[in-house]
Amino acid sequence: MRINKFISHNSRYSRREADELIKQGLVKINNKIAHLSDDVKFDDKVFLKGKRLQKRTQFSVIIYHKQKGEIVSKKDDRGRKTIYDTLPRQFNTWLSVGRLDFASEGLLLLTDSPVIADALMHSDLEREYYLKVKGIVNKQVIEAMQNGLEIKNEKKGAHVKTKITSMIFSPFLDFEIFGSSGGYTKLRVVINEGKNRELRRFFGHFDLEVMDLKRVAFGALDLGILKAGKYRYLENGEYDKLRDFLQSNEIKY
């Protein structure tokens, strides 16, 4: 494992901050000054500012009910409210598992372990959402949900600054249309990908603007009755399920 990654996995420092510590000569591997290109082997001892850095064996995870009008970022150059403005200061260094955009709400996982954050972010665990779209979900949309979709040279539903113009959407794992009223359709969908603004872009392709988007579950973890702007730690049974997932995927934590 690259030295900066090892530090970020086992301390409060990010990889970028780890790089600066290494450049300053504050990191040693087996009592030798570390360099940015060094790798850490299983039996190596890493010292940071003179103290041995122990491998982290425990981790914590919280479920946060993200509110609309918050961004999932440490800070915002436009001065918008972030999730860290709402959460207690003790979570300022925790990492989010993926993102929900400014206008979306619902279940967001945060953890103090970069290994866990990375593993969950890139997993194929189910994500369940409730949506309200402007327009009618017709047969063409239903077929795309069933069979998948590929878009090219298109930015409908994407962030205005995105450079991604092509995207492949896998078939939805499940969906349920609750009905249409007043020109809007409500539905529930289950997918196992976490691409940026994926659902907004999927429905945008059919000129269906997503008005409301709420994530209610991620794998075996669900939002339940947790109120907007509140958080809770995982329960013991939920930690057991998470560890089962990590072990089944041979992820060391």
Which of 44, 101, 118, 222 is flagged as catalytic? Answer: 101
CA dihedral 203, 204, 209, 214 (to 10 degrees): 50
101 in catalytic set: yes
Contacts of 24 (CB under 8 A, 6+ apart): none
- The residues facing 232 across adjacent strands are 63
Q: What is the DSSP string of 61-109?
A: EEEEEEPTT-BSSS--TT---BHHHHS-GGGTT-EESS---TT-EEEEE
Cβ atoms of 123 and 219 closer than 8 Å: yes
Specify whether the CB–CB gap between 165 and 109 falls below 8 A: no
* Neighbouring C-beta atoms of residue 66, cutoff 10 Å: 27
DSSP string computed for 183-228? TEEEEEEEES---TTHHHHHHHTTT-EEEEEEEEEETTEE-TTPPT
**Torsion from C-alpha of 165, 171, 177, 182, nearest 10 degrees:** 10
| Contact predicate 108/213, CB 8 Å | no
Report, as residue numbers or ranges, the catalytic residues.
Answer: 101
